[in-house]
Chains A and B, each alone.
Chain A
Amino acid sequence: MRSETVVQVDGLVKRYGRKTAVDGLDLVARAGITAVLGPNGAGKTTTVETCEGYRRPDSGTVRVLGLDPVREASALRPRIGVMLQSGGVYSGARADEMLRHVARLHAHPLDVDALMERLGLGSCGRTTYRRLSGGQQQRLALAMAVVGRPELVFLDEPTAGLDPQARRATWDLVRDLRADGASVILTTHHMDEAEQLADDVAIIDAGRVIAKGTPEELCRGGAENTLRFSGRPGLDVASLLKALPADCTAAELTPGSYRVGGKVDPQLLATVTTWCAQHGVMPEKISVERHTLEDVFLELTGKELRG
């Protein structure tokens, strides 16, 4: 099932006036959870909204579940669920009323009450949309995206502005969707969200995909990892460096605190501890730091991810 392609974007270009929002973007999303990661203004929303059929590509092709989102919209719409970045609800509609409404537009919707409970909206069903908190509005929009039992769900920054508990609830629902065979494309600028949820990650910057793979592949590939340990101050770092493979670095950061950079594998760890044993050093607080997507992004673009 994981090999099935749900979204295929080839050479997508989208301009708004003179500004190029998406600049020759290629993306293949397999079944499962795909995170589209990038800073604000990277082109995430434009890409997703093109997949949802809201925008016509200036050039390139987009296929969603094998369909053209604009020309074959009527065939595609019932099969996808959409959560916009904000809004989408009559300001005077009650939460349960709106969700029930969207459910009635579908042939086999989920049970509305159970879904409201599940997302912690059970107590505010009678509240009008404009009186809901920001987090409640987000969760209602999420519920509206999944209530029609879609094959593919697009979530545009589903946890932006949520408190940690509500974020958890959203993540759990996304995982349940995946476990039951639905696919999810979500945009985020939270690294941990992509690392936690996604089977595949596409990192977007300035309208192009600059890296893609599983979170593990991205964190392993290219990025240097770090090994730290403590010992007595003033060890012979030059000697340590000689014992290490050629592309490694070693430094005493503060007196007694050492850092080794490079491809950290069991062999490297053994080399460091052997060197310590030969020099009568007891390495304390040994730690191996895996790179995060945050580091990967920083290395690739030289920019911090905001948010």
Chain B
Amino acid sequence: MTAGTDARTTGEGTGEGTGMYAPRPGAAPLPRMIATQAALETKMLLRNGEQLLLTVIIPTLLLVLFSAVDIIDTGEGKAVDFLAPGILALAVMSTAFTGQAIATGFERRYGVLKRLAASPLPRWGLMTAKTLSVLVTEVLQVLLVTVIALALGWSPQGNPLAVLLLLVLGTAAFSGLGLLMAGTLKAEATLAAANLVFLLLLVGGGVIVPLDKFPDAAQDLLGLLPISALSEGLRDVLQHGAGMPWGNLGILAVWAVVGLAAAGKFFRWE
């Protein structure tokens, strides 16, 4: 207690009450909170090297490599016409599923979600911001993939609205699954599982390897995966100029409803 002179009574330049810290509480307007949260989430994602590898470098590399080098049999027509829709599907999966699962898993582990839960930003506002951040990233990815594919001689067909619908439903389906994983598993387990799933779906989901290379029995099953529904749906429209791919949209919608409902029910914030 010898060194414990009381600043309350000795007034060592503190405790006088400058008014600087006078309470003036209040939440910022909701749109501002959501916008600033979405901006921060996007910044964190774009700054993270591993995330960029997943969302930008791998899809771009696969597109360029397999378009230029004839390694896999992509069927009739230019390789890029087959590959570009698959790579777009991969881009959506890498951001909405893998990236979001890993980032959210670690945010949960490091108490970020917990701390934000005590801030004026409501939970649904945080989830909205996360979704916005995913969408912003996807727009950048789609632009990049499109520019590169066009440079490689891609000639896309079909109805842009059908493409947009597929991308949105695919994002919803993958977000639900990603958040379900992030909200229930440990961060390290999420990291490992999300990367493994990414790799498996990359190979078995019609992204770069046509589904008809697999045995018939496997094809039916693989076709029900969200990644196959997205890549095949995009391919039907963009490569073959089909109308609304209702079957694939239906599969994605089911995954979206089931995934988001399960994430909503089982997600643990800490």
Contacts and interface: CB of A to CB of B under 8 A. Distances in A.
Most-contacted residue by chain B among A87, A97, A292 (CB, 10 A): A87
A194 B34 CA distance: 39
B128 to A, nearest CB: 14
Contact of B27 (A105, A144, A146): A105
A290 B40 CA distance: 52
A107 B24 CA distance: 8
Contacts of B23: 149-151, 180-182
Contacts of B217: none
Contact of A84 (B19, B25, B43, B114): B114
Interface residues of B, number: 43
Contact of A90 (B33, B44, B114, B117): B44
Contacts of A107: 24-28
A78 B27 contact: yes
B221 interface: no
A36 interface: no
Nearest to B269: A54
B25 A148 contact: yes
B36 A101 contact: yes
Contact of B18 (A86, A146, A180): A180
Contacts of B26: 78, 106-108
Contacts, number: 140
B40 A105 contact: no
B8 interface: yes
Contact of B4 (A104, A150, A195): A195
Contact of B8 (A110, A151, A175): A175
A10 interface: no
Given A172-B14, A181-B23, A88 B114 contact: yes
B111 A88 contact: yes
B170 to A, nearest CB: 26
B214 interface: no
Contacts of A62: none
B122 interface: yes
A272 interface: no
A89 B17 contact: no
Contacts of B19: 180
A93 B112 CA distance: 11
Given A93-B40, A175-B8, A105 B111 contact: no
B21 A149 contact: yes
B40 A101 contact: yes
Contact of B16 (A53, A108, A179): A179
Interface in B4-43: 4, 6-8, 14-28, 32-33, 36-37, 40, 43
Contact of A79 (B25, B40, B112): B25
Contacts of A155: none
A74 B118 CA distance: 9
Contact of A82 (B16, B28, B110, B118): B118
Contacts of B121: 105
A44 to B, nearest CB: 17
A79 to B, nearest CB: 4
A54 B21 contact: no
Contacts of B40: 90, 93, 97, 101
Contacts of A97: 40, 43
A119 interface: no
A285 to B, nearest CB: 16
Contacts of A77: 27, 118-120
B115 interface: yes
Interface string B42-80: 011001100000000000000000000000000000000
A78 B120 contact: yes
A177 B21 contact: yes
Most-contacted residue by chain B among A74, A77, A172 (CB, 10 A): A77
Given A172-B7, A176-B18, A151 B25 contact: yes
A304 interface: no
Given A74-B122, A175-B14, A88 B115 contact: yes
Nearest to B35: A104
A171 B36 CA distance: 31
A106 B27 contact: yes
Contacts of A110: 20-21
A149 B115 CA distance: 16
A174 B99 CA distance: 39
A60 to B, nearest CB: 21
Contacts of A104: 28, 32-33, 36
B117 to A, nearest CB: 7
A271 interface: no
Closest 4 CB pairs of A and B: A87-B111, A107-B26, A88-B115, A179-B17
Interface of A: 52-54, 74, 77-80, 82, 84, 86-93, 97, 101-102, 104-108, 110, 144, 146, 148-151, 171-172, 175-182, 192, 195-196, 290, 292
7 contacts: A77-B27, A88-B110, A90-B110, A97-B43, A102-B119, A148-B119, A195-B1
Given A79-B25, A80-B118, A84-B115, 16 more contacts: A78-B25, A90-B44, A97-B40, A102-B119, A105-B37, A107-B25, A146-B21, A150-B23, A151-B23, A180-B18, A180-B22, A180-B23, A181-B17, A182-B21, A182-B23, A192-B1
